[in-house]
Amino acid sequence: MDNVKSFKKQEASTAMASVAASVSSCFHGENLSSSCSSLFSRATLAFSPSISGNDFNGRKRFMVLAKRLSGLEEAMRIRRAREQQTSTPIKRRTPLRRLKVSPRLPVPDHILKPPYVSTKLLPEISSEFQIHDEEGIARMRAACELAARVLEHAGTLVRPSVTTNEIDKAVHQMIIDNGAYPSPLGYGGFPKSVCTSVNECMCHGIPDSRQLLDGDIINIDVTVYLNGYHGDTSKTFLCGNVDEATKRLVKVTEECLERGISVCKDGALFRKIGKRISEHAEKFGYGVVERFVGHGVGTVFHSEPLIFHHRNEKPGSMVEGQTFTIEPILTLGRTECVTWEDNWTTLTKDGSPAAQFEHTILITRTGAEILTKC
């Protein structure tokens, strides 16, 4: 009998050692495809239900360790997903650099302009939540509908050899032809009528003489100011033959926006947006950029509340009649960023592609109305 107990003790000790070795491998990135996923199935087979006394203490210690490890499986799955993505061939691109920026385009005198146009100072974020009556909602719908149509038209221009400056000209002309003002123009000194962010540019790209290349992606961010109200929207477009890994990034980013919108309604907590977006992005191993946020939008371009797209514990809840944007940015690599000397163009620090989608939404009693959907 003593021999049996001695054997079981040795068996338990061996299993514990096996677990410890597997844990070490997981933390150091070794054998990720096998050691972590099968960790518990191998180790628990080494125990007999007849263990008691001191042997039971060994089993108890093992089970505590197993519980501590259970949270690792999800983290390892996410890591494996990211490794699978990065192992997919990605077309090597020439890093972005600033090319020629043409002069800002004129706006007819009769078109109503936002107050910030008269100064180059960057306006402060307004503390005033954008909550509208029936007339305000009607004007928001009109501004957002125009922004959506302009963005749709801009997307038809995306093809190899077209310059981002040509896209800016087309966007500018369509906006003023409809009696509206291109909101980015003159905002904090921004020199163009639209933001065009190519490949590793996260956001706020300034249109210039660079030609789009086959395999590029480009986010076009359109905001119009019509009858005293801003409508804000953006979308990432594919240019020519884009590699599968980058196409997947773009698809999942749009899905993240949709999932963020799905939790919105009167009384819902703002932080639910970031939670839902992060949950979906993490399934694919993508990073969610924390530096840039959604915002209230209406009679002012940027106001409270700030909408965080990552997990957060920020207070606040939504109110019927309120309008704001949700605009997550996801990256294929790390989420750290660098900003050029122009103080606008912001790129991923590691040069990996980034994608963004944005809608302006109206909170209703039972959900959210997407105002910038064509």
Residues of each annotated binding site for substrate: 204, 302
- 179, with CB counted inside 10 A (0-12, 13-18, 19+), is middle
Q: Which residues are annotated as a binding site for a divalent metal cation?
A: 221, 232, 295, 327, 358
- 258, with CB counted inside 10 A (0-12, 13-18, 19+), is middle
Long-range contacts of 304-308 (CB under 8 A, 24+ apart): 304/125, 304/126, 304/127, 304/128, 304/129, 305/129, 305/270, 306/125, 307/270, 307/273, 307/274, 308/270, 308/271, 308/273, 308/274
Both tokens assigned to 278: 């992060």
CB 169 within 8 A of CB 105: yes
Helices (H), the chain: 2-27, 39-44, 54-87, 134-156, 164-177, 244-262, 271-283
CB 293: neighbour CB atoms within 10 A?
20
Question: Given CA atoms 292, 294, 297, 303 in this order, what sign does their dihedral have?
Answer: negative
Cα gap 152→234, rounded to integer Å:
10
Phi and psi at residue 224, to the nearest 5°: -120, 150
Phi and psi at residue 223, to the nearest 5°: -135, 135
Angle between helices 164-177 and 134-156 (to 10 degrees): 140
Q: Which residues are annotated as a binding site?
A: 204, 221, 232, 295, 302, 327, 358
**Which amino acid, 55?**
D
Chain CA centroid to CA 303, Å = 20
- How far is the CA of 322 from the CAs of 129, 234, 278, 365, in angstroms? 7, 20, 24, 11
